[in-house]
Amino acid sequence: MPEIVPYLSLLEFSDNARCLTTYRYPAACVPFQMPNDIHVSEVSNAELWFRKDEHLMDSHNQTFVVSEVAHWDTNKSFKKSTPVAIQETSLTEDWVRVDVTHVVKNWLDFYDSPVHAFSIVCKTCIKDEFRSPVTSTPDDNRPFLVIYTHIQQRRTMRHKRQRRSAICGGDVNECCKESLYVSFAEIGWGDWIIRPEGYNAYFCKGSCLSPSAITLSGSQHHTILHKMMYGKTSNDGGGRPELTPCCAATQFQPLQLVYMDSNKTVTTKLLSNMIVETCGCM
């Protein structure tokens, strides 16, 4: 079975677009440029997040209608809207989350344009020509779209099942896998890595001197070298070759990071070879 790895993509909305539809209530146009590296089959769910603007003259509840706005034209305008969700919130609530999975999947499945938009209308807000129901400044208050995906990690098919690495501890003296927790704050990366705060990287340690260590070999090449070491003579008749095997990582797993890049944008990336999965005698 392929390994399922969760992935998080944060998309900030673009300012250089407008919705032409005239609304009777305070409204905001929230366009997004969709990524081209996510396939619709990988999407598990998607959420639109926006921070609502509070007005003292509004009623005790605020009702928001979120619609998909279609028909992007050359003038960067949207002309048609289709309701997606109706969200009722209290005045004390801050951020609003709306499930837009179906809409985002359609956008990715029918990739006619990289730019799409939502309109957010507040039906219970006081009408104000210059007021938007959505807060967009400063930058950390801007609406954003979150796309959760499942990426299948392809693994090389092997004819034989590999033996699991022994976990260090107790009476284990041979090559084994030992826990090693890495705190990003302690190594000076805590100011730009958002999550995780740390992770178990593991490391390999132990003896590779016993004949049974052959079974922990990382490849057929190392298996042959081990057989030469523990054989009676080497191929040139001069005794065993000068080989000193050591316990080292033979397979790794990736780690997903959510971090702030140089442009102050929240980014996610799956970094390969971050977590030791198996150890062997090399």
Instruction: Give the pLDDT confidence of 110-154 residue by residue, as tens digits.
Output: 766 667 888 888 888 776 655 677 776 666 677 888 888 775 544
Name the pTM for this structure. 0.51
Show me where the domains of the chain are located: 3-153, 166-281
The per-residue pLDDT for range 161-218, each reduced to its tens digit, is 444 567 888 777 788 899 999 999 999 988 888 888 999 999 999 888 765 555 555 5
CATH topology match: 3-153 vs 166-281: no
Whether CATH 2.60.120.970 fits 3-153: yes
Handedness of CA 216, 219, 220, 221 (dihedral sign): negative
Tokens of 2: 């392929």
Q: What is the pLDDT of residues 6-62, one digit of tens each?
A: 444 444 555 545 565 556 778 888 888 777 777 788 888 888 888 887 666 666 778
Question: What fold, for 166-281?
Answer: Cystine Knot Cytokines, subunit B (2.10.90)
What is the rounded CA–CA span in Å between residue 261 and residue 194?
11
Q: How far apart are CA 114 and CA 37, in angstroms?
A: 12
Alpha helices in 122-271 (DSSP H): 220-229
Q: Do the beta carbons of residue 51 and residue 135 sit within 8 Å?
A: yes
pLDDT at position 73 over 70: no
By the 8 A CB rule, do 110 and 26 touch? Answer: no
Contacts of 24 (CB under 8 A, 6+ apart): 127
Phi, psi values for residue 182, rounded to 5°: -110, 120
